[in-house]
């Protein structure tokens, strides 16, 4: 089954809860290394892990990188993101930033959606994103709103 040309669908998503996508290139920058994004989703106040939160990660142009579903511990299989080489992040530069910016969206029924813009992934690093999901019972008139967070670039 091929729903998005650069993604591997099938049993991985429907049984194991993940999809990996390839062919990531950002503005002609050499992306020769890999960084990882790990997510932990939980209820906002009690911090109880949430299972089956749908996590989508896209590049800055909206192209899908990966989909995941959280497990009973509220975690996902880490998402690999193509990044500039590790050596590019060791000294200040005025050139291209030494990280890859991605966008992350989290959705589960009866909770407010979360959107994170410009989440940064560095080479050989696991970026951990904590998602405090707010039950809609606490915000009954906000059923169609999303909490949007923007990550500002690092001053490198």
The verdict on residue 141 lying in a domain is no
Q: What is the CATH number of the domain that holds 97?
A: 2.60.40.1120
Q: What is the pLDDT of residue 99?
A: 84
Q: Which residue has the higher pLDDT, 28 or 133?
A: 133
Does residue 69 surpass a pLDDT of 90? yes
The verdict on residue 2 lying in a domain is no
Q: What is the pLDDT of residue 131?
A: 95
Does residue 130 surpass a pLDDT of 90? yes
Residues sharing a CB contact under 8 Å with residue 126, sequence separation 6 or more, in sequence order: 35, 36, 37, 38, 78
The verdict on residue 156 lying in a domain is no
Q: Taking the model in full, what pTM does it have?
A: 0.72
The verdict on residue 149 lying in a domain is no
Q: Residues 106-131: what's their mean pLDDT? A: 91
Q: Which residue has the higher pLDDT, 1 or 52?
A: 52
Q: What is the pLDDT of residue 3?
A: 41
Q: Residues 130-153: what's their mean pLDDT? A: 72
Q: Which residue has the higher pLDDT, 11 or 30?
A: 30
Among 133, 85, 86, smallest CA distance to 105 is for: 133
The verdict on residue 13 lying in a domain is yes
pLDDT-derived band at 77 (thresholds 50, 70, 90) equals very high
pLDDT-derived band at 2 (thresholds 50, 70, 90) equals very low
The total number of structural domains that make up the chain: 1
pLDDT in tens, 89-102: 666 666 667 788 89
The verdict on residue 73 lying in a domain is yes
The verdict on residue 115 lying in a domain is yes
The verdict on residue 40 lying in a domain is yes
Q: Which domain holds residue 125?
A: 7-135
């Amino acid at each position: 089954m091929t729903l998005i040309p650069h993604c591997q669908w099938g049993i991985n998503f429907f049984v194991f809860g993940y999809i990996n996508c390839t062919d990531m290139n950002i503005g002609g920058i050499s992306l020769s290394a890999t960084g990882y994004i790990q997510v932990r989703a939980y209820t906002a106040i009690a911090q109880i892990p949430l299972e089956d939160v749908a996590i989508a990660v896209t590049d800055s142009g909206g192209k899908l990188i990966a989909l995941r579903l959280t497990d009973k511990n509220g975690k996902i299989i880490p998402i690999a993101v193509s990044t500039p080489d590790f050596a590019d992040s060791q000294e200040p530069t005025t050139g291209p930033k030494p990280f890859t910016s991605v966008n992350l969206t989290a959705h589960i029924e009866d909770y407010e959606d979360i959107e994170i813009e410009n989440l940064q992934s560095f080479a050989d690093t696991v970026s951990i994103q904590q998602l405090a999901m707010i039950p809609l019972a606490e915000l009954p008139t906000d059923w169609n709103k999303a909490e949007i967070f923007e990550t500002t670039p690092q001053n490198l």
